[in-house]
Amino acid sequence: MSFVEYGDTIKDGDTAIVFLGHESMFPVKVQHGSVTQTKYGVIRHSTDLIGKKYGSKVTCSKGGWVFILHPTPELWTMNLPHRTQILYSTDISIITMMLELKPGSIVCESGTGSGSLSHALIRTVAPTGHLYTVEFHQQRAEKAREEFREHGVEHLVTVTNQDVCKNGFGVSNIADAVFLDIPSPWEAIGHAKSALKAEGGRICSFSPCIEQVQRTCLAMEEYGFTEINTLEILLRVYNVRTVSLQIPDLGKAAEDNSSTGFDSSSPSHQGSSCANLQQGTVQFKSGVPLREVVGHTGYLTFATKS
């Protein structure tokens, strides 16, 4: 099993996603002899998972059923254990596009955190690219290394435990892109410039506060970055539901008007027309935005090394 290479069958040691519904899923490490409890009953790894195909419908001990999905960066973002605040798919998608990432790209990242963005970056630059990710917190760095190893992507990523603001990324003049998600990104702009390739490399900084953005933009300008641009991505979800509305019999009303010669403005004719307008209903799908939507997550500041 690998997060960047699809496998057909579930094997011992794999990380799989147990899908109970769109709002209910969780990851599980498949191990021979282990069991997993769900609200539909027990899943026995040896008989219910190992050897089955990903996407299979598995019946639990109480008669309910779940689907077992192959892990992807998107599913991992929704289900990973949170060690820090994470980036979600809305911001991740624009980051990978604006940094112009592709298979073979070299990317530097700080900090690693819970690894949400890291998995997406690895999948994007695979199979010949590489991610150099720096994490200040030692335990989080060690946990990230462990997860990358379990997910079969350790050959595509190098995890370093150090302060990027003081010690940089540990590489020079090779990165196609740099991503910063740290409290004071302006202190790492110089190291980011050193890590980027000689010309044309891209940088992105994620900050929740506009004051951080202002200081970061000033530092980028000081170090000669161009095309400095700040974005905020807001996601608006629509709820689709079936509604019933009455339909008017416009054809009959028009026929009555022409045959009887009634004045449509008269009160008596208006009453008969209203009766005709309520002769049936029709059902159709309608989309309305949710009453509560995800608001501000952070500002994304992009720039180019000139």
- The band of 246, judged by pLDDT with boundaries at 50, 70 and 90, is confident
Q: Give the pLDDT band (50/70/90) at residue 262.
A: very low
pLDDT band at 90 (very low <50, low <70, confident <90, very high): very high
Do 97 and 151 share a domain, yes or no? yes
CATH code of the domain containing 123: 3.40.50.150
| β-bridge pairing 202-207 and 177-180 | parallel
> Distance (Å, rounded) from C-alpha 186 to C-alpha 164?
11
Neighbours of 198 (CB within 10 A): 8
Range of the domain at 60: 9-71
The residue from 71, 94, 122 where one domain ends is 71
Q: Looking at the structure, do residues 117 and 139 belong to the same domain, yes or no?
A: yes
* 152 assigned binding-site residue: no
Q: Is residue 256 annotated as involved in ligand binding?
A: no
- The burial class, CB within 10 Å (0-12 / 13-18 / 19+), for 43 is buried
Is 8 annotated to bind ligand? no
Q: Is 286 annotated as a binding residue?
A: no
At residue 256, the pLDDT reads 56
Tally the domains of the chain.
Answer: 2
C-alpha 15/C-alpha 9 separation (Å) is 12
**If pLDDT is split at 50, 70 and 90, which confidence band does 278 have?**
very low
Max Cα distance, the chain (Å): 91
Task: Tell whether 163 is in a known binding site.
Answer: yes
Asked whether residue 44 is domain-assigned, the answer is: yes
Average pLDDT over residues 128-133: 98
Q: Is 91 annotated as a binding residue?
A: no
Rg of the chain taking only CA atoms, in angstroms: 28
Of the pLDDT bands very low, low, confident and very high (cuts 50, 70, 90), residue 257 is low
Please state the three-class secondary structure of 27-88 as a single string: EEECCCCCEEEECCEEEEHHHHHCCCECCCEEECCCCCEEEEECCCHHHHHHHCCCCCCCCC
Check whether 249 is labelled as a binding-site residue. no
Last residue of a domain, one of 71, 103, 121: 71
Identify whether residues 155 and 193 lie together within a single domain. Answer: yes
> What CATH number is given to the structural domain containing 26?
3.10.330.20
In a domain, 263, yes or no: no
Asked if residue 277 has pLDDT above 70, the reply is no
